[in-house]
A and B are shown apart, each in its own frame.
Chain A
């Protein structure tokens, strides 16, 4: 059973697809089934979304998750009432902003369910934190969405599985390149533990960090606007911590400075980085360094060679080349299933 053992090291996991139809649901169902076999108690939910069962843009059916007996799941009450298997309601939460409230239930039989759980980072993080205490589960699993990457940030779940495939790009080289880029942002090095503890407390502003790990407030509100970026450049600092969003503009400007080499940009986690691949790579190539306060534990990359439009890539070749490009094991869930 590849990568399942690695999952068991963590208390929480999110599965994120680089695009819809990259096999995220298959991957989730695979993990759920395998966890049931290892006798690990699981609670599962999904990032609450628009809620339509059929994706209106591509009109492909919205995934239904198969839960195994004994599993806890959290979803909108209206989806709960549509289920066609026996489950025991354990909690109803009407306080969240979601219409109709969320139901958490324990499956008494195997069955399928549409999942739509907490829809903001704070409630999702609370769900992840409370699941082991309330339901005595060993793993809290979140079905994520790339468009809402921040919800998959290490601030919410400890570990992550990434799915990618033909739906993301039907051109293999492009697919490999784009996936590699996301992978590289996920695997940015972490700052030393002691410094991470100190930076973790800081949630806004722009800060200089000296060699003794002392923080100096640069008096800049964020790094979003051109004038902020100019101020950051003019500060002449060589090691900067930005807890908020790091934009293309900033990284581009920094990459064009004469003395990029040796410069270190510290971000909170990968989900704060909003940048184009070429700008990201140029900054690194010029000798700049980007590190993170919270690191993502990427457990596996899963691929789906099929796209919903019917394209498909050579599965074996994709698996092999992706493995070469990323330098880590890549799994084709459909083949694992066989």
Chain B
């Protein structure tokens, strides 16, 4: 799946993409076209490149170099159209020839700087031959025109034209001017022919520069958010994923704006399903969002928001959040959810390597059947050894699969009035613990009472708690 589509599915991905310091729409276009990488080796070598970029941008002594590099990125013109013209051997006009010369000069500036910085991962092809074609007098100046030295007949035609006054001999001037135009066209044809031999390397360098820019933008992002390089878990064992102190940058930033810091969470998953329970507002959804964000970032070659992350490369990541309706197809949220689950079942049966994250499945239907569906999901994933993290409110389902619980509300000794909607997250411990008894914490009424919800109403509710 392309990055651009993935940003619509994974919460927080678009936010981070927006934080990348890219010089404009050209590198952004490349980023959006990136594919979800499922090749472990390719990812590892990408991380090596990213790590070198991160070392450079983190080294204060390299600051001037890095600033110069950013400046050079901003100097790249989007010459996609010109490159297509070169490939198609369409005769280039003066401006396009200038653009090619400018690009060739820029590439040599890049090569010098990157070599100097010791960043040799994505080498550029030397374009000195192209530069020489467009700088026939060897001036080393980036400006361009159809130089006299390209053709003797052009030089002669220009000489004749110069000796004629357009005001006094308009007819003759016009004829001579056309000779010049013809001679210039011949030169442009010849230049186009010579440059078209280098079409491939021009294109290659143009692409490479966008890739390098994205590596550096990822490095700046990693520096800014203290992202870490993920490690991959060797095949064979039962461990699937182990993330320590993970955080969700978008939510963390939003919290920070209101003066609250994000509490990092650690999680470990094995092959097979795992249920995630916890009280209301205990951050189950955030856990799912963060795990999906980390897995996604890793497979698009980013470092990840955690203290440490050990992951498994998957072919597909499924994130099902039950409140997603499908308004275009007019489906209810339950129907949309079921169809999405069905896609997952098909992938499971095909043997796809995947991770599944489901947020409160069957929450919109009756609890009796809802519990049945959740239990069946756990059984299905156990049977196929599919790694799945399923958050749920249903308790006491007597399932043998692994269960994690958010520690949850810690304000037991708080008095009504002390806790309110603004400060309640201070009273919640978001860390995850193994849940042996499988009982879901029943704290909804207490939290509601502390929030100051009408006491007589809560008395009524209490009667119905079994």
Report which A residues bind B (CB closer than 8 A). Answer: 77, 80-81, 84, 86-90, 92, 94-95, 103, 105-106, 108-109
Which residue from chain A places its CB closest to the CB of B142 in the assembled complex? Answer: A90
Contact assessment for B145 and A86 in the assembled complex, using a CB-CB cutoff below 8 Å: yes
- Chain B residues 88-107 with CB under 8 Å of chain A are 93-95, 98-99, 102
Pairwise interchain contact A77-B145, C-beta atoms closer than 8 A: no
Q: Give bound CA distance, A109 to B165, whole Å.
A: 13
Are B77 and A106 in touch, CB under 8 angstroms? Answer: no
Q: Is B343 an interface residue (CB 8 A)?
A: no
The one of B77, B95, B181 that contacts A89, using a Cβ cutoff of 8 Å: B95
Measured CB to CB, the closest approach of chain A to B161, in angstroms, equals 9
- Considering only CB atoms, which chain B residue lies closest to A80 in the complex? B95
In the complex, chain B residues whose CB is within 8 Å of the CB of A86: 145-146, 158
B250 within 8 A of partner (CB) = no
A-B contact pairs, 25 of them (CB 8 A): A77-B95, A80-B94, A80-B95, A81-B93, A81-B94, A81-B95, A84-B177, A86-B145, A87-B145, A88-B143, A88-B144, A89-B94, A89-B95, A89-B98, A89-B143, A89-B145, A90-B142, A90-B143, A92-B99, A92-B102, A94-B78, A95-B24, A103-B95, A105-B145, A109-B162
Beta-carbon contact of A89 and B144 below 8 Å:
yes
Whose C-beta in chain A lies nearest to the C-beta of B79? A94
Contacts of B77 in A (CB 8 A): 92, 94
- In the complex, the answer to whether A108 meets B98 with C-beta atoms within 8 Å is no
Residue of A nearest to B162 (CB): A109
A105: chain B residues at CB < 8 Å are 145
Q: How close is A195's CB to chain B, nearest CB, in angstroms?
A: 38
Closest to A94 in B: B77
Chain B residues with CB under 8 Å of A89's CB are: 94-95, 98, 143-145
Complex Cα gap A155–B25 (Å) = 30
Provide the bound-state CA to CA distance between A95 and B76, in Å: 11
Give complex CA distance A77, B144 in Å.
14
A314 to B99, CA, bound (A): 52
Q: Which residue of B lies closest to A77 (CB)?
A: B95
- Cα distance A86–B94 when bound, in Å? 11
Q: Which residues of B contact A80 (CB under 8 A)?
A: 94-95
Using CB atoms, name the residue of chain B closest to A109: B162
Chain B residue nearest to A100 in the complex (CB): B95
Which residues of chain B are within 8 angstroms of A90 by Cβ–Cβ distance?
Answer: 142-143
Q: How far is the CA of A201 from the CA of B146 in the complex (A)?
A: 47
Give every chain A residue within 8 A of B24 (Cβ-Cβ): 95
Which residue of B78, B145, B181 contacts A108 across the interface (Cβ within 8 Å)? B145
Determine the chain A residues whose CB is within 8 A of the CB of B78 once the complex forms: 94
Beyond known contacts A87-B145, A89-B94: 16 more, CB 8 A cutoff: A80-B95, A81-B93, A81-B95, A84-B181, A86-B158, A88-B143, A88-B145, A89-B95, A89-B143, A89-B145, A92-B99, A94-B77, A105-B145, A106-B143, A108-B145, A109-B162
Give Cα A105–Cα B97 distance, bound, in whole angstroms: 14
> CA separation between A92 and B105, bound complex, in Å?
14
CB-CB nearest in chain B for A112: B166
Q: Which residues of A contact B95 (CB under 8 A)?
A: 77, 80-81, 89, 92, 103
**Contact flags B129-144 to A (C-beta < 8 A → 1, else 0):** 0000000000000111
Q: Which residues of the partner chain A approach B162 to less than 8 Å between Cβ atoms?
A: 109
Query: Which B residues between 375 and 422 are near A, CB-CB below 8 angstroms?
Result: none
Chain B residues with Cβ below 8 Å from A87 are 145
Distance to closest chain A CB from B187 (angstroms): 13
**Chain B residues whose C-beta falls within 8 Å of the C-beta of A81 in the assembled complex:** 93-95
What separation, in Å, do the CA atoms of A98 and B445 have in the docked complex? Answer: 62
A45 to B457, CA, bound (A): 75
**Closest 4 pairs (CB-CB, A-B):** A89-B98, A88-B145, A90-B143, A88-B143
CB neighbours of A103 from chain B (8 A): 95
Inter-chain CA distance A81–B185, complex, in Å, is 12
Q: With the chains together, A77 CA to B99 CA distance in Å?
A: 12
How far apart sit A147 and B145, CA to CA, in the bound complex (Å)? 36
Q: Complex Cα distance A60/B158, Å?
A: 32
Residues on B with beta carbons closer than 8 Å to the beta carbon of A92: 77, 95, 98-99, 102
CA gap between A94 and B79 in the complex, in Å: 9
B79 → chain A closest CB, angstroms:
8
A-side contacts of B158, CB under 8 Å: 86
In the assembled complex, the Cα of A135 lies from the Cα of B77 at a distance in Å of 20
Closest to B77 in A: A94
Give residues 34-92 of B contacting A (CB, 8 Å).
77-78
Residues of chain A with a CB closer than 8 A to B143's CB: 88-90, 106
State A108–B142 Cα separation when bound (angstroms).
Answer: 16
B159-202 interface code vs A (CB 8 A; 1 in, 0 out): 00010000000000000010001000000000000000000000
Q: Mark B311-327, 1 if CB is under 8 A from A, else 0.
A: 00000000000000000
Q: How far is the CB of B22 from chain A (nearest CB, A)?
A: 14
Q: Which residues of A contact B102 (CB under 8 A)?
A: 92
A89 CA to B146 CA, complexed, in Å? 10
Determine the distance from Cα of A206 to Cα of B162 in the docked complex, in whole angstroms: 60
Within the complex, the shortest CB–CB distance from B424 to chain A, in Å, comes to 37
Closest chain B residue to A78, Cβ basis? B95
Q: Tell me the minimal C-beta distance from A113 to chain B in angstroms.
A: 13
The CA-CA distance from A84 to B77 in the complex, in Å, is: 26
